[in-house]
Amino acid sequence: MILIWRSIELSEETKARIESETEVRAYIQNLKFALNNGAKIEFQVKRRVDDKRNEKYTNQYTVNTLFPDENPVDALKRELLMLRVEDYMRTVKDFRFPKRSEMREFGKVYNGSDDVYIKIRVELLGMYGATTTFIMSFHFAEKPFVPEMFPYRKNREVFSWK
């Protein structure tokens, strides 16, 4: 659940922060480079947290609904390659794995009205530096997006805010 947005640069409770636009742009550029050069995608289809969640807000349901006739990994790779700075929401620390890299949260609207929450982490793993993109979340948002969630959306770019 996302509770705090741009009002605080770094929150002690959530370890959330807003990176500079330049940092986000570099992150997306590195993500695209990794994906275009053989990075492995690991997608959590079924998560323990989904056991207590309405099925509509699970990764599996969302991917099956949005991309019914596609290989999920191929569809997600394509979607990650289309991320923009304007889709960035915030950067968060992973409390379960504090030594791993931070996760970035993005949001996109599909079909004109379906808000989709995306949380990813990109890491170099293994002795040969193999890059892996972990997709923790790619599911319909439990709460509707509002413009304030997107620090780099120009003029609060509107595309179907509820």
Q: Would you kindly state where each structural domain of the chain is located, as residue ranges?
A: 39-153
Which residues have CB under 8 Å from 132's CB, separation 6+? 39, 40, 41, 42, 122, 123, 124, 125
pLDDT at 12 over 50: no
Whether 4 has a pLDDT exceeding 80, the answer reads no
Average pLDDT of the segment spanning 113-134: 81
Question: Which two structure tokens, joined as six digits, stand for 46?
Answer: 């079924």
Q: Which two tokens mark 85?
A: 């700075």
How far is 2 from 70, CA to CA, in rounded Å?
29
4, burial (CB in 10 Å: exposed 0-12, middle 13-18, buried 19+): exposed
Q: What average pLDDT does this structure show over 134-157?
A: 87
pLDDT confidence band for 10 (50 / 70 / 90): very low
Alpha carbon of 81 to those of 63, 76, 86, 98, 135: distances in Å?
16, 8, 14, 27, 13
Domain 39-153 = CATH 3.30.2310:
yes
The pTM for the full model equals 0.84
Select the more confidently predicted residue: 27 or 99.
Answer: 27
What is the β-pairing status of strands 40-43 and 130-140?
parallel
Residue 64 scores a pLDDT above 90: yes
